[in-house]
Amino acid sequence: MLTKVIEEIKRSNCGTVHMNQSLKKYTTYKVGGLATIVSPYNEKELIRLVNILRKYRVKYKVLGNGSNVIFKDEPYDGILIHLDEFDTFYMEQNRVIVGAGYSLQRLALKVSRLGYSGLEFAAGIPGSIGGSVFMNAGAYNSDMGYIVDSVKVLTPDLKIKRLYNHELDFHYRTSYLKEHPDYICLEATLLLKPGNKEEIMDIIQDRKMRRMASQPLEYPSAGSVFRNPEGNFAGKLIEEVGYKGKKVGGAMVSEKHANFIINTGNATAKDICTLIKEIQVTVKKEKGIELKVEQEIVE
């Protein structure tokens, strides 16, 4: 079935088809099985692609920079849509219009160097614009919800529509798009504020040095594993139940920051998921607190 679908995708010019791709190359955890990945070049190709996938009832998922997902070790039994070609950038004073496939980190540094404030928090987040809007990425008491004016989306009935900030229902690590994954983010319009370039870059540099000292940036990971419970810190709870440095196969709870699970070199997705489950069970048993996973485990 999938072979037939891929042949039709190629015939219909829906973008570049990459077959038998190791998801280790597409995720920051560097784990996962094989997948077929299609990269459309524009909205028309994306619409044609989704139409075909729906016609054959093929499972599909939009993949950003792979910085917040865990794919299983087995092959992905569907099609992954990669919007890396949706990388337009346009700026008019403090208004930024940027494609869903553009790097959030790259954008944060670009606008900060131009003297615009609002994206300092994102200089260390390795996600795409689309993925960052989807999950309302944030740090340092700020997130995308503070700066997104609107997003252009492909709706479930394959229409192009604009959703504005008040419709996007941004909350801690979630949004309308995350609750309605049939919508696909195509482009975001952000509103920033003019600022002092030197001061902005000093903030970014200071935070970078603190991250390097406190986070295991030298290993593959996907950032914070769990959401911070209200009034508490996930890393503190994990450390208190004795899980700092705990290993399952090649996955390990970081000794620098207990809310990071790192790939020490040969971890599998199963290793990571087993460790996540163990932590949840232990923290619930010893602390009575249900830790919620911030990362997405893709079925």
Catalytic residues: 173, 224, 294
Two structure tokens written together for 252: 């390990």
Nearest to 261 by CA among 240, 283, 277: 277
- Beta-carbon count within 10 A of 145 CB: 18
The CA-CA-CA angle for residues 105, 124, 272, to 5°, reads: 110
Q: Measured between alpha carbons, how far is 260 from 217 in angstroms, rounded to an integer?
A: 10
* Sheet strand arrangement including 184-191: 89-92, 95-99, 184-191, 148-154, 160-164
Go through the chain and tell me how many residues it has: 299
